[in-house]
């Protein structure tokens, strides 16, 4: 037994000596070698969807967790995350309606250790536009897209490309207008999207700015926001036109409260104007607002018949 114990001790000592003899050299080599690029190990997104065996959302979750961990790792190493765009393509293909990756795309691509190249700025916009394509009624998605295209990219990443920045800014304001149309009861999104109206007016697109504000006014129940919109409209519209617009909206609210008091504003807009069958039967009611088949037609008839 003692002989076997001595053999074991001798082997341990020899092992320690051998490891120590090469460890210093290997440590120096490891310290000098720096990882400078990433290796993408996944197949094309469509093939990846097939390989998921139906567990597309689960695989998307796993890849998203990898993105989060790798982003922190790359930030610690002060180098760009080269595979981020490829991983985003895979995640968006596996779960195209998952909103969180879309909402974080701007931050993940642009807030990295090095200057964001133009190609990746374009990639962020493509990802966000894919987001609103897959979630067309998501007001926050439109707000994030509009904010990035109108303000984030032109003011930070496109300073050396003024022509492109100007085009992006105009297009971004249109995206913000869509966010305002969809904001509904979310006053926070409405207030943020409202910056687009100022941008349109500043660019000389007065009628577009007025339409933007009017659509936002029509979908919100926030009284403070409505007052702010009216102040903005007052600066853009003639007094007579603004007075007519206010009277039309007040008439709509009065009609909705008297006929459909149990419905919200959005539900009333979806349902359409209330009609009295006996009043609207037969011909001769083409100009009567109370017989209009839609709110758009009601607005037109009201404007034509009001003094």
Q: What is the reported pTM?
A: 0.66
> What residues contact residue 178 under an 8 Å CB cut-off, 6+ apart?
132, 142, 146
The pLDDT of residue 30: 56
Residue 248 phi, psi dihedral angles, 5° rounding: -65, -45
Q: Which residue matches tokens 């003011």?
A: 155
Residues 101 and 91 sit within 8 Å (Cβ to Cβ): yes
**CA atoms within a 13 Å half-sphere pointing along the CA-CB vector of 142:** 24
Where do the structural domains in the chain lie, given as residue ranges?
41-136, 137-237
Q: Which residue matches tokens 């393509």?
A: 89
The pLDDT of residue 239: 47
**CA atoms within a 13 Å half-sphere pointing along the CA-CB vector of 192:** 20
The pLDDT of residue 70: 86
**Of the candidates 102, 84, 81, 89, which has an alpha carbon nearest to the alpha carbon of residue 47?**
89
The pLDDT of residue 10: 82
The pLDDT of residue 266: 67
Determine the Cα angle at 276 with ends 270 and 282, to 5°. Answer: 115
For CA atoms 235, 241, 247, 249, give the dihedral sign: negative
| First-to-last C-alpha distance (Å) of the chain | 115
From first to last of the 307 residues of the chain, give the pLDDT tens digit: 677 777 778 888 888 777 777 776 666 665 555 555 677 788 888 998 888 888 999 999 999 999 998 888 777 777 788 888 899 999 999 999 999 999 999 888 888 767 788 898 999 999 999 999 999 999 899 999 998 998 888 888 888 888 998 899 888 888 888 888 887 667 778 777 777 666 666 665 667 777 777 777 776 777 787 788 777 777 776 644 666 666 667 776 776 676 667 667 666 666 677 766 666 766 666 667 677 767 667 676 666 565 4
> What residues contact residue 154 under an 8 Å CB cut-off, 6+ apart?
165, 166, 168, 169, 172
Residues 131 and 102 sit within 8 Å (Cβ to Cβ): yes
């Amino acid at each position: 037994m003692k002989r076997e114990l001595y053999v074991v001790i001798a082997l341990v000592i020899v092992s320690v000596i051998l490891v120590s003899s090469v460890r210093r050299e290997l440590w120096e080599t490891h310290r000098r070698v720096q990882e400078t690029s990433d290796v993408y190990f996944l197949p094309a997104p469509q093939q990846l969807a097939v390989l998921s065996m139906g567990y597309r959302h689960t695989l998307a979750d796993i890849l998203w967790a990898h993105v989060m961990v790798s982003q922190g790792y790359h930030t610690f190493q002060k180098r760009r995350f080269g595979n981020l765009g490829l991983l985003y393509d895979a995640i968006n293909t596996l779960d195209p309606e998952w909103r969180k990756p879309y909402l974080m795309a701007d931050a993940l691509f642009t807030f990295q250790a090095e200057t964001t190249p133009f190609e990746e700025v374009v990639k962020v916009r493509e990802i966000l536009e894919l987001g609103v394509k897959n979630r067309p009624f998501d007001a926050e998605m439109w707000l994030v897209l509009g904010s990035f295209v109108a303000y984030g990219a032109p003011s930070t990443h496109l300073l050396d490309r003024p022509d492109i920045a100007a085009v992006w800014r105009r297009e971004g304001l249109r995206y913000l207008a869509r966010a305002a149309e969809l904001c509904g009861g979310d006053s926070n999104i409405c207030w943020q999207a409202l910056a687009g109206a100022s941008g349109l007016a500043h660019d000389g697109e007065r009628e577009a700015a007025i339409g933007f504000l009017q659509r936002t006014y029509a979908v919100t129940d926030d009284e403070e926001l409505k007052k702010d919109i009216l102040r903005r409209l007052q600066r853009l519209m003639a007094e007579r036109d603004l007075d007519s617009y206010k009277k039309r909206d007040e008439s709509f609210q009065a009609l909705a409260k008297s006929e459909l008091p149990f419905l919200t504003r959005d539900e009333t807009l979806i349902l359409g104007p209330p009609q009295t069958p006996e009043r609207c039967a037969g011909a001769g009611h083409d100009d009567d607002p109370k017989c209009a088949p839609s709110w758009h037609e009601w607005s037109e008839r009201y404007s034509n018949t009001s003094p």
